[in-house]
């Protein structure tokens, strides 16, 4: 198996992009990634993988990977769409990594994108809920915010997580999002504005108790893209500092949350992270920066524990103590995370990897660049933790 390097990265600002079609967004981020490798355009792409969950439902369009290859004049490159719910982007990256590592393809473009804002918020919520169990969950009105609310209540009762801990994560991630030019939510918030304002219930209404508006990610449009190649070819193709996929893991868990032995135990996160660390020959304490799938603030707490950064019951306390802030013990979601960067579901797993690549290249402004970062980790959370991918990236030379 060959070492796989990420040599090009592209992203467009997340948010409401009424002026762009889904294909426009995928093309823009892909062109940015290709230009990042070689501004002259002299790069032969062998295959394209597109992470997307909902084009067939939301845009009434399928085969978007084929359309993207044609749009970018990359014919006759192989083209595949990868659908895996909110982990579609991570799964597309995995497919690209395996294709290069196997030696079957040399240069692979991975793009992820979703256009979710052209429908109502209720329809977007219903669209995401299609990943729930079709007989035992979806017909009864379960939604992802509903699942997250129940999970949060259980986690609070078992591990002592408090509203103040969750608010500290919302504040941290929106503060970082305000510094990120690609972020959907560019508004910083304060503890006083949430707890002390007489209008706090209006400004921060319940979404699914005990979760409130500032605990949830926005519904977003957006796209991100990567270019992969064998490490041995990287220096021939680009002047960028190559970042290697040191290891990855993927695991699934019981589909229905209620049928799990312990609904607070995110087994797929633990197993995916364990696989990634074993393949990378690293430990949680080696990681310098992480992007965790914080569709809801409670997930940042739970994932930080399940990947091994903190013991069970300590993640919320660590967040409150500032250990996960920029400059803290293990900076988490310096991009703003899903909470602020946004969550166009098919794009998220690709965007997480892109943000870590920028960190490991040391390409970011001083107010977002983790000093001397050499190793980074991502968690892309599919379903409600029933299909999870974890990637560990390494700066070449580390």
Q: Please write the tens of the pLDDT for every residue from 283-317.
A: 999 999 999 999 999 999 999 999 999 999 999 99
Q: Is the residue at 17 inside a domain?
A: yes
Looking at the domain assignment, is residue 65 inside a domain? yes
Note the pLDDT of residue 195.
56
Q: What percent of the chain has pLDDT over 70?
A: 96
Task: Kindly state the DSSP code that residue 218 receives in the 8-state scheme.
Answer: P
- Which pLDDT score is estimated for 201? 43
DSSP per position, 255-305: SSGGGSS-TT--HHHHHHHHHHHHHHT--GGG--EEE---SBHHHHHHHHH
Q: What is the pLDDT of residue 194?
A: 63
Q: Whole-angstrom distance between the N-terminal and C-terminal Cα of the chain?
A: 20
The Cα 116–Cα 219 span in angstroms is: 6
Q: For every residue of 229-258, which 3-state class applies, written as one string?
A: EEHHHHHHHCCCCCEEEEEEEEEECCCCHH
Per the prediction, the chain carries an average pLDDT of 95
| 87 vs 345: CA distance, rounded Å | 7
- Quick one: which of 203, 32, 2, 208 has its CA closest to 103? 2
Which residue do the tokens 């990265």 mark? 9
**Domain that includes residue 99, residue range:** 4-120+219-237
* pLDDT of res. 398: 58
Model pTM? 0.96
The pLDDT of residue 121 is 84
Q: From CA 14, how far away is CA 351, in angstroms rounded?
A: 10
pLDDT over 90 percentage in the chain? 90
- Mean of the pLDDT values across residues 237-242? 93
b/e burial code for range 288-306 (CB count within 10 A of at least 16 → b) = bbbbbbbbbbbbbbbbbbb
Q: Is residue 49 part of a domain?
A: yes
Mean local confidence (pLDDT), 121-142:
92
Q: Is residue 326's pLDDT more than 90?
A: yes
Residue 173 lies in a domain: no
Q: What is the pLDDT of residues 134-193, one digit of tens each?
A: 999 999 999 999 999 999 999 999 999 999 999 999 999 999 999 999 999 988 887 766
Give the confidence band of 204 by pLDDT, cuts at 50, 70, 90: confident
Q: Is residue 48 part of a domain?
A: yes
Write down the pLDDT at residue 202. Answer: 44
- By CB atoms closer than 10 A (0-12, 13-18, 19+), residue 125 is middle
Asked if pLDDT for residue 64 goes beyond 70, the answer is yes
Q: What is the pLDDT of residues 362-371, one digit of tens each?
A: 999 999 999 9
**99 lies in some domain:** yes
Domain membership flag for residue 361:
no
DSSP H helical segments within 121-230, as ranges?
Answer: 121-129, 144-159, 163-177, 191-195, 200-203
CA dihedral (195, 200, 201, 204) positive or negative: negative
Residue in this structure with the two tokens 């695991």, named with its chain if needed: 251
Confidence of residue 40 (pLDDT cuts 50, 70, 90): confident
DSSP helix/strand/coil, 225:
strand
Split into its structural domains, the chain has a count of 1
> What tens digit of pLDDT does each residue of 6-33 get?
999 999 999 999 999 999 999 999 999 9
No. of H helices and E strands in the chain?
A: 14, 11
CATH code at position 223: 3.40.47.10
* Domain assignment present for 232: yes
pLDDT score of 192: 66
């Amino acid at each position: 198996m060959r070492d796989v390097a990420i040599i090009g990265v592209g992203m467009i600002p997340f948010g409401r992009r009424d002026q762009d079609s889904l294909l426009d967004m995928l093309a823009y981020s892909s062109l940015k990634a290709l230009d990042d490798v070689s501004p002259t355009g002299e790069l032969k792409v062998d295959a394209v993988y597109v992470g997307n969950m909902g084009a067939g439902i939301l845009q009434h369009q399928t085969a978007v990977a084929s359309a993207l290859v044609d749009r970018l004049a990359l014919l006759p490159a192989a083209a595949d769409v990868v659908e895996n719910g909110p982990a579609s982007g991570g799964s597309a990256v995995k497919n690209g990594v395996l294709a290069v590592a196997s030696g079957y393809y040399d240069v692979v473009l991975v793009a992820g994108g979703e256009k979710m804002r052209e429908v109502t918020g209720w329809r977007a919520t219903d669209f995401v809920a299609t990943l729930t169990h079709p007989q035992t969950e979806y017909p009864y009105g379960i939604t992802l915010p509903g699942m997250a609310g129940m999970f949060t209540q259980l986690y609070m009762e078992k591990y002592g997580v408090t509203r103040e801990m969750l608010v500290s994560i919302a504040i941290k991630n929106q503060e970082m999002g305000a510094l990120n030019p690609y972020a959907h939510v560019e508004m910083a918030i304060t503890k006083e504005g949430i707890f002390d304002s007489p209008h706090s219930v209006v400004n921060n209404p319940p979404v699914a108790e005990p979760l409130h508006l500032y605990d949830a990610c926005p519904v977003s449009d957006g796209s991100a893209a990567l270019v992969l190649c064998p490490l041995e070819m990287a220096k021939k193709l680009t002047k960028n500092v190559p970042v290697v996929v040191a290891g990855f893991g993927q695991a699934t868990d019981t589909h229905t949350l209620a049928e799990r032995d312990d609904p607070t135990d995110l087994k797929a996160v633990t197993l995916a992270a364990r696989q990634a660390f074993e393949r990378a020959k690293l430990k949680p304490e080696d990681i310098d920066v992480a992007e965790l799938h914080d569709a809801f603030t409670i997930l940042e707490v739970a994932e930080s524990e399940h990947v091994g950064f903190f013991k069970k019951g300590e993640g919320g306390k660590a967040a409150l103590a500032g250990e996960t802030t920029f400059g803290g013990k293990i900076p988490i979601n310096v991009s703003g995370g899903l909470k602020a960067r946004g969550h166009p579901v098919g794009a998220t797993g690709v965007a997480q990897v892109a943000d870590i690549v920028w960190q490991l290249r040391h390409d970011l402004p001083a107010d977002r660049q983790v000093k001397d970062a050499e190793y980074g980790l991502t968690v892309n959370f599919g379903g409600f933790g029933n299909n999870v991918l974890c990637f560990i990236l390494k700066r070449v030379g580390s």
